[in-house]
Structure 1
């Protein structure tokens, strides 16, 4: 009899070892969300960089470009990996909510509220309609930006990492701010203008702010719509697919987009080499997307990103 009991206990222990992780996964569908605000464990780690290399030292243009892309690629990939993990967790919670709207834990609801605040979405799970709208907006916004696009815009806006704003403010994307002392005053700023070029404490922060800007600002609604279309078609999200959504990024409009497209085509080999380097892991592969539309309107011109 004792032997039978011991055998039964062994069977139960094995079953628990197999089932418990699955049950935990279902109850808490993404491992980073145990602490509500994920921050420590991302797919690709990158060091915090608080200064730029001296890209002006390179005599050959090709050498300068290679150094710039090699430097920036792993930082961009790390930020995209962070966004991709947040998106994965968001989709997992959305699926869980669809099966049972009352199944989300308090911690999971808190994490969703945190994510909504980061992506400027009004958060509400009070009704099914409000919750579905919240999820639709979040899934549209919490998404990666092609590394090629990020690298090319950084090169364009920062003069390959040699501009005053890049060197003194670590601002690689020409982002503005509107609080006195928040950044550097442009030398060509008009007398009545109040904007400054935002100052960042690290290159990582500059990249994260730029991506959040594209993912939240009403001016880039079209870019996000183009990204959704590519996901619905089951395609990888490519830089050239999204550049038409950047008309508002510069006062130059179409000319600016055409310049970015030309830079993408010309520099593609160097960018692919930088992203393929074992030390510069490529970003997450685009996964099937979400069909929900948000209620934004692209009504504001670029340069008040943030």
Structure 2
């Protein structure tokens, strides 16, 4: 049977759509990174070492991105360029800066407070605390190691103990690295952690080093446990000697 040119074009178009769907399905299901099963390691030093060894390089990679961003901000803001704000526009979006944030301060001042590293000691302690050393349901099923929420139906995993009046879900990430980056950007951009950023900025101004111990005092709003949560993180950092990881970043 002969196929005319019009029919062949339709067929080619349908094949292209089918191929696009196949690629999309592959991307959704096969590009997802599965976290290690930390429960394969005995609870205690062996599991902790596996956990820290896995996440430390990821945290370092995100911090290197922040360092590069900070160097760019410093470079642009050290000049009297009238177009500085336009050059920094993308970073303003990345670090969640809106018009209210720059009503009383320059964009440069706000960015220099937000664009900075998160000490590995803090990130490791929070990841361990929030994910039960990587063994929680949300960590294993949703690559969520920091207890981050989302608020659109279907955006993540519904907690079993969620009250009927609540709508939040625990965010689902494509990879553990995405979870780490989202968490670190959250500390650098969310209004709840202004105190953390102010502590970090103050220490920077004194040319003092800082670790998760100091910045943990700015995390009272991260958990409903408030100050108790911060103290728990500090104890984890001290007990596991996590400040040693800050020295190798």
Interval containing the TM-score (normalised by the shorter chain): 0.7 to 0.9
Residues 177 and 198 of structure 1 are in contact (CA less than 8 Å); yes or no, is this contact kept in structure 2? yes
Residues 119 and 246 of structure 2 are in contact (CA less than 8 Å); yes or no, is this contact kept in structure 1? no
Aligned with residue 96 of structure 2, among 91, 111, 120: 120
Matched, 1:54 2:34: no
Deviation of the 1:57 alpha carbon: 1.1
Residues 113 and 123 of structure 1 are in contact (CA less than 8 Å); yes or no, is this contact kept in structure 2? no
**What whole-Å deviation, never above 9, does each CA across 1:137-186 have from its counterpart, x for those lacking one?**
11111111101100110000000000000001100000000011000000
Matched, 1:179 2:166: no
Between the aligned partners of 1:176 and 1:117, the Cα distance in structure 2 is 20
What runs of 5+ residues in structure 1 fail to find an aligned partner? 1-47, 277-281, 284-306
Task: Determine the structure 2 residue equivalent to 1:168.
Answer: 141
Name the SS for the 2:106 alignment partner: helix
Matched, 1:65 2:48: yes
Deviation of the 1:56 alpha carbon: 0.5
Name the SS for the 2:221 alignment partner: helix
Task: Determine the structure 2 residue equivalent to 1:89.
Answer: 72
Deviation of the 1:60 alpha carbon: 4.5
Matched, 1:224 2:193: no
Residues 67 and 116 of structure 2 are in contact (CA less than 8 Å); yes or no, is this contact kept in structure 1? yes
Task: Determine the structure 2 residue equivalent to 1:157.
Answer: 130
Between the aligned partners of 1:131 and 1:221, the Cα distance in structure 2 is 15
What runs of 5+ residues in structure 2 fail to find an aligned partner? 1-30
Name the SS for the 1:192 alignment partner: coil
Matched, 1:262 2:235: yes
Over aligned residues, Cα RMSD in angstroms? 2.2
Name the SS for the 1:197 alignment partner: strand
Normalised by the size of structure 2, how large is the TM-score? 0.82
Between the aligned partners of 1:123 and 1:83, the Cα distance in structure 2 is 22
Residues 171 and 203 of structure 1 are in contact (CA less than 8 Å); yes or no, is this contact kept in structure 2? yes
Normalised by the size of structure 1, how large is the TM-score? 0.67
Between the aligned partners of 2:36 and 2:246, the Cα distance in structure 1 is 19
